[in-house]
Structure 1
């Protein structure tokens, strides 16, 4: 089982003076300590459940570029990009740039978007949910085409590109794609058709994740996709440092389901100290 850190909040003490230093310190500890993936959110505003728009929130890909320059090994991504945030052709170019400049360490995490307030607040169109999923599927197809040998046009219902040129190409030919979310009808179907990885929440525990993975397996059967090709990842809710026995026990259960990466969130006012404890205590156990 690999571990990832999902840095979901910048609202630590003295954030107005120490935000960048604390973020850089945390990712360096993760990079040097063997954490596999470091992600931040892709939001314009902080989520209301985490304090709302008055709390600090950084733009996602600018942040990842900053982190790429301060690390050497750890993979970097957003958990996850809303399909409404960037035109898909530009998104493919942005994540490719991150991949090239980081030496092949980018992930493209993407979903259908959901936070209406931030869209209205900054004047970004927010289509109905069905259209957002249609746009998500077209975006996945556009990214795949831009990372292929086909640099011709793309004609979709929502997006039309005259040329899908992307030079330089990603370091390994393409960027791994993670589709976030657990919707059984469309989200997991898109995972089966287009993604290299899924990310599931663990609010209902291992039984809930097992049920979602069963749905994913059925979708894979429907589209003739090898279920085992898809990497299964989770966002675990809890503190591995404060609850080491529970964490190790549940990770064993999730590993038995085929989950190979668990992302956890710094829960304290000292993310650097927490990351050091995570590397020293939790990582060896899993």
Structure 2
């Protein structure tokens, strides 16, 4: 909780958490944790990075999202994904969707959520999910932005057609691939915010693929390259010991030179 308050005090725009309920490493259920974060802060937005659609019925997520968005003062960013970890589905007895079913389910989930946020007696019949005369009240006071973490051709097409934002990870979509993916999304003609998940480490080794590491100037230059590619927002994940100190240095030594480039 202290990390979220510190992020708010440092001027970060949003704080996010991933959705991996199964595993041997200690973790918290993402929705419960972000509710706790929202209650302990006042300005910073809270984002799911990203919520695995197959874990929860979309109609229930629509209700959960409206409640958190309202009680947080309109600060929720609803990140969604098809769910890439087949091992987690299998471990929890949820069944393992095919890649096509994951994309279809993600699209249907968006249709259902937006339908419930805007209509009464909402009926929807999809291949994965359905509703029958469903109504949720109250409706959202302000739009709930949906960001998608997507990579494959069908999922990217759906992102360009439906999403408010696209949030790929550097490790899964390195710049040489991400540029082409972004073009595919924007070919829809819609405005889609492009947000890059970027692990970073200042004055230390990368210790793995997909980490931006080096001096303040090296990290700043690398992040500026991403801005020039069209990523006007980034989700920063500190790597290595003392992540809070890394976040503080990023906020005070790197972002002041980067923010003007994203305006």
Question: Structure 1 length as normaliser, TM-score?
Answer: 0.81
The list of structure 1 runs, each at least 4 consecutive aligned residues, that deviate by more than 4 angstroms after superposition, is none
Mapping of residues 5-154 of structure 1, within 5 Å: 24-45=1-22, 53-154=23-124
Aligned with residue 234 of structure 1, among 196, 205, 211: 196
- Structure 1 vs Structure 2 CA RMSD: 1.8
Contact 1:145 1:151 in 2 (8 A): no
Mapping of residues 174-185 of structure 1, within 5 Å: 174-183=143-152, 185=153
- Unaligned runs of 5+ residues in structure 2 are 205-213, 259-263
Aligned to 1:190: 158
Distance 1:259 1:267 in 2: 21
Contact 1:241 1:277 in 2 (8 A): no
Contact 1:202 1:208 in 2 (8 A): no
Cα deviations by residue, 1:173-211 (Å, 9 ceiling, x for unpaired): x2100010222x111111111100001232464333222
Contact 1:241 1:281 in 2 (8 A): no
Contact 1:38 1:77 in 2 (8 A): yes
Q: Secondary structure of 2:16's partner?
A: strand
- Please state how far the C-alpha of 1:101 moved relative to its aligned partner: 1.0
Further displaced range: 157-166 or 83-92? 157-166
Question: Structure 2 length as normaliser, TM-score?
Answer: 0.87
In the alignment of these two chains, the number of paired residues is 247
Q: Secondary structure of 1:236's partner?
A: strand
Distance 2:130 2:58 in 1: 10
Alignment CA distance shift 1:65-1:241 (3 Å): farther
Mapping of residues 221-260 of structure 1, within 5 Å: 225-226=189-190, 229-240=191-202, 242=204, 243=214, 244-260=216-232
Distance 2:17 2:157 in 1: 25
Contact 1:26 1:271 in 2 (8 A): no
- Please state how far the C-alpha of 1:150 moved relative to its aligned partner: 4.6
Contact 1:74 1:105 in 2 (8 A): yes
Aligned to 1:157: 127
Aligned with residue 167 of structure 2, among 194, 199, 202: 199
Alignment CA distance shift 1:283-1:165 (3 Å): same
Contact 1:116 1:126 in 2 (8 A): yes
Distance 1:94 1:269 in 2: 34
Q: Secondary structure of 1:259's partner?
A: coil
Distance 1:270 1:254 in 2: 25
Higher relative contact order (CA 8 A, sep 6+): 1
Further displaced range: 268-277 or 94-103? 268-277
